[in-house]
Structure 1
Amino acid sequence: MKIVIGAAAGNIGSRIAKKVGSENHSVILLGNKLNALKNLKIHNSSSYEVDMSNAEQVVAHTKGADAFFWLVPPVLGVSSLKEWYDRIIAAGVAAIKENKISRVVAISSLGAGASDNLGTVTYVGNLEKAFKEVASNVVFLRPGYFMENFLLQKNDILENGYFSFPYAADHDIPFVSADDIGDLAAEYLMDAHWAGQWTRNVMGPSNITLKKAAEIFSKELQQEIVYKQITYDDIKNQFAQFGANDTVQKELIDLYNALGDPNGAYATPRTLEAHTPTSLVDFIRNKFI
């Protein structure tokens, strides 16, 4: 089976590539840095540096694909996230339509399409709508909050004893590992027997609060780790320092508001199929210790 993986050097894409490559499929790796793709050393793979927002390039490198994985890579230095998502979505749509790709797996989000003011959660809802129009067989994985976000604060956690988000300390969050998302995506990509258009929530083993997360970090690292709630102004300043313009800052604040709403996306009821195995304890032991 020929399987094309977009953003293959990322947390999810690289996990998929390793899983798919280990099963002797023909693997096509797409991303914006050729060296990062080649450094994955995936068996039976070909790597191509592409602009994922360029429909012509994406179409060219997905010819003959039996299965196709797609997501919108995170960026800050664009005029707007809406425009960025629209371009990535359009490139994916063109590839699926022109190359008649049999099966598609795409990353969405809990709460996708629920409202027009949820930042990127709204935009992945647009991805779902667009892909449904061209893909007969498509699975949208809707994950909760990535545990990998803690890695962005690894130095503060290990050296300064705290981590911070703009959410209330008692906000219940479905933390999920990118490894589990990648494993699930790989299963769908390698399975030629499913059909139809599906959404599947991916929510980790259980919801936990940030207060509880701090307790888990403290126990596993054997040092006191505390949670510090920061303001949305703090968040805006951080993103401004990383080059995000006013539009992108607002879109990200809309996202944080959506994810921090106690009655919002993360209030999604759990079902059996939403469960994934990696706990926060597992994640800390694998990535911090």
Structure 2
Amino acid sequence: MRIAVTTPTGNVGRHVVATLIRAGIRPRLLLRAPDRLACDIREEVDAVRVDQYDADAVVAATAGVDALFWVDPTTGSEDPLADYARATESVVRAVTENGIGRVVFQSSVGAEKRHGAGEIDGLAHTETALDDTGVDVVHLRCGYFFTNLELQLDALRAGVLEVILPLDQPMAWVAPRDIAEVAATRLLSLAWSGRCVQAVHGPADLTWRQVAEILTAATGRRIDVRRIDDDAMRARLRQAGMTDGLVEAVLGMSTGLREDFVPEQRRTIHTTTPTTLTAWAHDHLRHRILDAADATDDATGESAAAGEHASGR
């Protein structure tokens, strides 16, 4: 079986690659910077330098492929949905021109709305475009990634997370490694066909209040969460360097899913995955918060000691 993988160094893709290698597959990896691959991985894969927005390059890189794991690349432009459309053109051309029979597409909870969910609308467009090709396709409707918390390390170290969703609104939280397990299983399995939608909801729906409690317990440091209004979040995103178009697209992923939204796929054994936020936070987040906090405490202590010594003189 010849399998191609996009974003193979990402939070999900790197685990997909490792799983396929363990299964005896030599995957073809499409990525902009092959030198980012670990040395031991390079010996087990065929890496191709590709920009996923370059449809001709994607078609050439996927020639002879039986199955494809496709992730729309991240975008930082003023018009994110236009970038999603360009990426969609690439995968559609690759599937149709190379006769790729099976695609596993990393989508998101909320794509079922089709419109009104910010950047997620771009994923919805890819879903419908792949459906129109008639290829056997699985759309993985993933919940909120645990790893998104790594984008807020400074806030976590300060002890306060700011969000625009209601603090008691539950939503699916999932470990990227669990998404990869589902993706790899689907890529390797021949037991399905047609159009499939499989949600990946993680082990439990969590509110932001519960998340704060879990992170407090995992790190041993008090972490609170507070709700801010949309304009305050806009200001923070602009301060982070986002364009106005990207700000609205990112904001829309929350505002589009906070008013009576219910995922199309309910929680079942098929959509529930095992890794808990507690376990993930202890393994992946705890040391990143505590090490930085300890370093800050040490620096503060050294400054205080120096000040006392200077006063003594």
User: Which TM-score band (shorter chain)?
Assistant: over 0.9
Kindly indicate whether residue 261 of structure 2 is the aligned counterpart of residue 264 of structure 1. yes
SS at match of 1:26: coil
Query: What amino acid is aligned across from residue 143 of structure 1 in structure 2?
Result: C
8 Å Cα contact 1:113/1:126 also seen in 2: no
Residue matched to 1:222: 220
Which position in structure 1 is the counterpart of 2:119? 120
Q: 1:217 to 1:266 in 2, by over 3 A?
A: farther
Q: CA deviation at 1:39?
A: 5.0
Gaps of 5+ in 2: 287-313
1:243 and 1:224 map into 2 onto residues whose CA distance is 29
Structure with larger Rg: 2
| Residue matched to 1:236 | 234
Q: Name the structure 2 match of 1:193.
A: 191
Structure 2 CA distance for aligned equivalents of residues 175 and 237 of structure 1: 26
- Please give the alpha-carbon distance, in whole angstroms, between the structure 2 residues aligned to 1:230 and 1:190: 44
- Per-residue deviation at 1:219? 1.4
- Asked if structure 1 preserves the Cα contact closer than 8 Å seen for 2:114 and 2:125, the reply is no
- Asked if 1:212 is matched to 2:210, the reply is yes
Between the aligned partners of 2:71 and 2:262, the Cα distance in structure 1 is: 19
Q: Where do 5+ consecutive residues of structure 1 fail to align?
A: none
CA contact (8 A) 2:118 2:249 kept: yes
Which whole-Å deviations, capped at 9, do the CAs of 1:71-121 have from their partners, x for residues lacking one?
A: 112222x13011010001110001111111121100111121414221122
Normalization by structure 2: what TM-score?
Answer: 0.86
**Structure 1 residues 199 and 266, CA gap change in structure 2 (3 angstroms):** closer
Root mean square deviation, CA, Å = 1.8
Contact 1:38 1:47 in 2 (8 A): no
Q: SS where residue 168 of structure 1 aligns?
A: coil
> Relative to structure 1, is the Cα distance of residues 40 and 114 closer, same or farther in structure 2, using a 3 angstrom cutoff?
farther
Within 2, Cα distance between the matches of 1:250 and 1:223? Answer: 33
TM-score normalized by structure 1?
Answer: 0.92
Please say if 1:278 is aligned against 2:275: yes
Would you say the 8 A contact 2:104–2:186 is kept in 1? Answer: yes
For the Cα contact (< 8 Å) 1:18–1:42, is it kept in 2? no
Any runs of at least 4 consecutive aligned residues in structure 1 with deviations exceeding 4 A, and if so which? Answer: 265-268
The residue type paired with residue 135 of structure 2 is S
Distance 1:258 1:137 in 2: 29
What pairs up with 1:129-208 in 2 under 5 angstroms?
A: 129-157=128-156, 159-208=157-206
Give how far 1:164 is off: 2.5
